[in-house]
Amino acid sequence: MKPLQPHTVRGVREQDVPALLALAETAGQAFTSLPADGSFIAARVEASRRGEAPLMAMEDPSGAVVGVSGLVRRVGTGEPWYAYRLETRTVQSHALGFTRDIATLHLEARHHGPTEVGTLLLHPGARGSAAGLGRLLSGCRYLFMRRDLAGFADTTLAELRPPVRPDGGNAFWDAIGDRYFGLGYTAADRLSATDKRFIAELMPRQPIDVCLLSDEAQAVIGQVMPETLPARRMLEREGFAFADAVDIFDAGPVFSCATREIRSVRDAVERPVEAAGPGGDAPPTHLVARASGPFRCVLAAAEVGDVVRLPPAALDALQVSVGDAVHATPR
């Protein structure tokens, strides 16, 4: 019996729009980087086709799209990328006899800035799988970058979602953004994905002392929602760390890493591929992707030496032949 083909990540196609829309609908309002809006998703797929913001879909063995992840080659191209930089200053009073550290938010706008990894969504039915689908969906982006490191910035960042209330609101937004924009949190976040002019027009430019915010707003700064903890752990395993910066709308943390020091980038090797045994029930050991041509990536049981030996099912999923070059990085 022919071994079952593994889940495969590939570049998105125009015909994926309905499936991506259905996938986005499983995430609710919190997933603003790919909202459940057919026109927005179609535009995002077109941007991927042009190479500006690569977007990848994960197919299960039946060919159904069960995940999506993406990259932005450089944030701040066209419109600036905004964040609050967190700094601490020390104040002292000799009259009162105390010294205190005050955390302060400084608005920062970057042009032609770092690379960003984001838009990571796995269908609820596929989460928690022993097959390591979250690892595949996250790690495929780094092997995509490995193909053309010169095409990406020296630093890569990731923005993580913070805690939100059951109604979808955010206490940090209530404390700052709502007072300046007159928009709900979700509406403002979605608008910023397509038009950031209102940020430049209305966002307060002066530093903001965190101690002036409500206790609830202070409590979410740099924190992540429970559903985002696995994504945070994967980033930390790759070498990402908190960049002392947060999202200007919801105070979700910004993580960063030198692009060439991302573990899956640094440890990836390029080798010709050979066929090994059928694989059987051997656990997957490596992320493997085509080194050239249409991007395809799988998680497979691989033997890596002078060549990369893969089960036939993995070769089929990658659409490569013996002797073709692949990138492989340990799981």
Is the per-residue pLDDT at 3 higher than 60? no
Helix (H) or strand (E) holding 189: helix 185-192
Tell me which residue of 24, 25, 78, 82 sits closest to 55, measured CA to CA: 24
Q: What digits encode the pLDDT tens for the residues 207-227? A: 999 999 999 999 999 999 888
Between 90 and 288, the higher pLDDT residue? 288
Task: Compute the average pLDDT of residues 271-279.
Answer: 83
Residue 167 neighbours by CB under 8 Å, 6+ apart: none
Between 277 and 233, the higher pLDDT residue? 233
Q: What digits encode the pLDDT tens for the residues 306-317? A: 999 999 999 999
**Which pLDDT score, from 0 to 100, does residue 1 have?**
42
Q: 314, 6 in Cβ contact below 8 A?
A: yes
User: What value does the CA radius of gyration of the chain take, rounded to a whole number of Å?
Assistant: 22
Helix (H) or strand (E) holding 216: helix 215-220
Q: What digits encode the pLDDT tens for the residues 96-150? A: 888 988 999 999 988 888 999 988 888 887 776 656 888 999 999 999 999 999 9
Residue 263 neighbours by CB under 8 Å, 6+ apart: 237, 238, 239, 329
**Which pLDDT score, from 0 to 100, does residue 4 have?**
65
Number of C-beta neighbours around residue 100 at 10 A: 11
Strands (E), 155-294: 155-159, 208-209, 241-246, 253-258, 269-275, 286-290
Q: What are phi and psi of 309, to 5 degrees?
A: -95, 125
Task: Compute the average pLDDT of residues 3-9.
Answer: 81
**Which pLDDT score, from 0 to 100, does residue 280 have?**
58
Q: Which two tokens stand for residue 132?
A: 């390591």
Query: How remote is the C-alpha of 247 from its chain's centroid?
Result: 14
pTM for the structure as a whole: 0.90
Helix (H) or strand (E) holding 81: strand 81-93
Q: Using 50, 70 and 90 to split pLDDT, how confident is the model at 26?
A: confident
Helix (H) or strand (E) holding 8: strand 8-11
**Interstrand relation of 65-72 and 55-59 (parallel, antiparallel or unpaired):** antiparallel
- For 56, the 3-state DSSP assignment is strand
In eight-state DSSP terms, residue 154 is: S
Which segment of 40-49, 112-121, 146-155, 162-171 scores lowest on mean pLDDT?
162-171
Is the per-residue pLDDT at 22 higher than 70? yes
- The full length of the chain comes to 331
Positive/negative CA dihedral, 176, 181, 187, 189 = negative
Between 87 and 132, the higher pLDDT residue? 87
Calculate the average pLDDT of the chain: 89
Is the per-residue pLDDT at 186 higher than 50? yes
Q: What digits encode the pLDDT tens for the residues 224-266? A: 988 888 889 999 999 999 999 999 989 999 999 999 999 999 9
**Which pLDDT score, from 0 to 100, does residue 130 have?**
57
Q: Using 50, 70 and 90 to split pLDDT, how confident is the model at 21?
A: very high
d(CA 8, CA 140): 10
Helix (H) or strand (E) holding 188: helix 185-192
Number of C-beta neighbours around residue 205 at 10 A: 8
